[in-house]
Structure 1
Amino acid sequence: MKYQLIILGAPNKFEQAILDLLFKQVDELGMNCNMLHILKRDNFKNGYHANYPAYCLYMGDINQEADLDILTILKNDATLILPIVSDLTNFDESIPEILKNQNGFKLSNEEEISSLVSCILEGFSLIRTSRRVFISYRRSDSSHVAIQLYEALEKSGFDVFLDTHSIRPGEPFQEELWHRMTDSDIIVLLNTANFLESKWTKQELAKANSLSIGIIQVIWPNLKLIPEAHICKPILLEDKDFDDYTHKKLEESVVKNIISSTEVLRARTLAARQDNLTSEFISFASQSNVEVTLHHDKFISIYKNNEEYIIIPTIGVPKSLSCNNAEELILRIKQKKPKCIYLLYDHVNIRNKWLCHLEWLNQYLPVQSLKLSESLTILGANGE
């Protein structure tokens, strides 16, 4: 699976500079640049995969109406499409009718390229600076491999949770474990012979499924896939994949494969979780007879008295940096500052001390955190 950047519309003089910076930043994120696949009209039919992460740039031009058939496919697949023009005052003349309800991006000089590349990475959900992985395993079966993967993933730029390494003395063990799982992007599950014999590992699997967190299932030799893992990438091991007969350490090539698979599945699971949160909010809005607009940047607008309120579905635990990034993103996209910006999140399994911290931050920050369970109140107050 690859990240698909689709470039359509008119030729653009900044295209190569955009790609050069994009590949540079992808490399800086610790990803293999081969995971990024560039598609245009000539290779779209044979190269496009609807179930892979995708982001489309439509390069506008005066009276431009190119690639309407491909745009229709992408719109039907709910692919994010960013119309790009050199002058926003000519937006309607530069962009096809199918895209005129989208927010456009002004690209008139090289200084604006970095902002555009940021939009692409945000569209792929790759810009979240905390790249969190949770290792689920049975200590008696695979502690040596768990530690090996912990060290390798940390070295590759991930923030890794491993129960023996990541919980400070004095912290409530199970409460912190669920909190960290809720804030994780991916779970690496070590499927060993006795994995499901532990009530704790069974609970971790059930919790991961309830949260729609993707699972890299590393399956020991002669064992089968655990079918209860819903969003799952299996990696079947053989005896030769270990560096000795004790099965205490994986070969380096296998470790690299696990890391690569984690990178690939991460975008899919983040997108799935964000889509679930978005869908729940929109469902609540429908029940309250509140009209909402879902934008291509994955944020939501609601209106009251001709003033706009922005809702940004947020995976895991909102942070003050998340608030700052959200405000910068919205202000970059919107020409008019909205009345308020909310970070929408699901508070289930988040520790009380963090929930209290978020309530405290709400007293001081212009961007507010908002529990999904309380969003009906906001909709009622702001959407009437």
Structure 2
Amino acid sequence: MALYELAVLGAPTAEQLAKFQELLHVACGQFQLKLGHDIALTIQPEEFRPGSRAAAAAIFFGGIGSVDVDIAKVIDCEAMTILPIASSDAAVMTEIPPPLRRLNCLFADKVTPERIFHALLECLGLLPRQRRVFLSYRRNEATPAAVQLFAELSSRQFEVFLDTQGIGPAVDFQETLWHQLCDVDVLVMLETPGYFESRWTSAEYGRALAKGIGVLRIQWPDTTPSIHTGTASLVEVIPEELDAVGQFATSAIDRVCAQLEDVRSLSHATRHLSMVTAVQDAVQQVEGKIDGIGPNRTIYLTLRSGRKLMVQPTIGVPTSTILQETFERAGADESAIVYDHFGLKRSWQSHMNWLAQKVPGARWIKKTDAAWDLGGWEAN
């Protein structure tokens, strides 16, 4: 049975369907999933009733005659996550069936096909619903552009961290900065001529690499590329796209936003794969056995003693919500949440320890300690 099940419903155009399938093939490569094996795709089925153990979602394309679809016969609208797509805001009443109108739509004339597809991956659980970005810049060179990007990306449903907006008074500035960096999908680097002359921006870039966070470089005109940034995704800004105040033209903003979607998807896939690999290596080291990998990259394993566990690798800052979801997925099995603790606030780690004491069941395991903790599971 497939780990993920997708359905395309409604009346997609040939162009929409072709682009959707193209993007799905790219995503399968990024997440190392096999289409037809790990991901099952059904196009305009008469009925879509996925298995209870699979992560499932559907996308409904509004079009000619789609408003008359008896959607309740096709899918359980209450139990299934469905992403409605209308051609425009004004077309909702003529394209989207009444049972789906309570759901927030995306409009094909306002967002790119990539944004639509990544929203579906969020519904499926392959991408997080939080779309977090960290702006890294030198204040004396790029503050107007950083403030502009904060507003533009926020309007496109990104949660943007900007140091002047995201850190309150009387808190440890640097500790909060690193904690916020840990919880983003992409570091957007405003590469002005003096970017690497600042120890703080240089450290932000270096620590993003250390965490495996994707980097999107926005290169200023006449900036000599650094020898250290060859692997980062690049958006080059030409002189005509930067005004006298230091803000970008619309053309540059559009390129940044389009590329940011791709960098975010690849970054999350790469980081999750790294976490899963670390758990697999730890299990092998303590002579355990991987029994299988489920939706949301859940790992089912058997320890050397024969005890069975469900391990949930997690990216970013772990929360009580992740704890709840792990409990629900594990059922009666013992479970653990594996995370990367580097950069997290000490107070947050204390909070996680408190949760572990007050809510028995799932354990928190640091990625670096996975073999040690799994090897001594029975002793705790």
Verify same fold: TM over 0.5. Answer: yes
Conserved? CA contact 1:53–1:267, under 8 Å? no
SS class of match (1:184): coil
What is the distance in 2 between the residues matched to 1:87 and 1:165?
43
Does structure 1 residue 319 correspond to structure 2 residue 284?
A: no
What is the distance in 1 between the residues matched to 2:257 and 2:56?
37
Does structure 1 residue 358 correspond to structure 2 residue 362?
A: no
C-alpha RMSD of matched pairs (Å): 3.8
What is the distance in 1 between the residues matched to 2:339 and 2:54?
27
1:138 and 1:87, CA in 2 relative to 1: closer, same or farther beyond 3 A? closer
1:105 and 1:182, CA in 2 relative to 1: closer, same or farther beyond 3 A? closer
Conserved? CA contact 2:7–2:41, under 8 Å? no
Measured after TM superposition, the shift of residue 261 of structure 1 is 1.6
Q: Percent identity at matched positions? A: 23
1:201 and 1:34, CA in 2 relative to 1: closer, same or farther beyond 3 A? farther
What corresponds to 2:112 in structure 1?
Answer: none
Measured after TM superposition, the shift of residue 341 of structure 1 is 2.6
1:39 alignment partner, one of 21, 24, 40:
21
Letter in 1 for 2:75: E
Letter in 2 for 1:198: S
2:271 alignment partner, one of 270, 273, 276:
273
Work out the number of aligned pairs and report it: 315
TM-score by length of 1: 0.70
What corresponds to 2:283 in structure 1?
Answer: 285
What is the distance in 1 between the residues matched to 2:28 and 2:7?
24
Conserved? CA contact 2:132–2:158, under 8 Å? yes
Conserved? CA contact 2:187–2:216, under 8 Å? yes
Letter in 1 for 2:313: P
Listed one character per residue, the Cα deviations across residues 87-115 of structure 1 (whole Å, up to 9, x for unaligned) are 979xxxxxxxxxxxxx6679996217954
1:251 and 1:217, CA in 2 relative to 1: closer, same or farther beyond 3 A? same
Measured after TM superposition, the shift of residue 375 of structure 1 is 2.2
What is the distance in 2 between the residues matched to 1:35 and 1:155?
27
Conserved? CA contact 2:216–2:232, under 8 Å? yes
What corresponds to 1:61 in structure 2?
Answer: none
What is the distance in 1 between the residues matched to 2:147 and 2:245?
13
Q: How does 1:1-384 map to 2 (within 5 A)?
A: 15-17=7-9, 37-39=19-21, 51-52=29-30, 58=36, 80-82=38-40, 110-111=75-76, 115=80, 121=122, 125-126=126-127, 128-229=128-229, 231-242=231-242, 244=243, 246=244, 248-297=246-295, 298-303=297-302, 308-328=308-328, 330=329, 337-365=331-359, 366-382=361-377
Conserved? CA contact 2:145–2:247, under 8 Å? yes
Listed one character per residue, the Cα deviations across residues 306-345 of structure 1 (whole Å, up to 9, x for unaligned) are 65311111011111122223444x26xxxxx242232210
Conserved? CA contact 2:56–2:124, under 8 Å? no
Conserved? CA contact 1:300–1:310, under 8 Å? yes
Structure 1 residues without counterparts, runs of 5 or longer: 1-5, 8-13, 24-32, 59-70, 72-79, 90-102, 332-336
TM-score by length of 2: 0.71
Conserved? CA contact 1:290–1:383, under 8 Å? no
Conserved? CA contact 2:285–2:371, under 8 Å? no
Measured after TM superposition, the shift of residue 363 of structure 1 is 2.5
SS class of match (2:337): strand
Structure 2 residues without counterparts, runs of 5 or longer: 43-47, 58-72, 84-119
Letter in 2 for 1:301: Y
1:228 and 1:216, CA in 2 relative to 1: closer, same or farther beyond 3 A? same
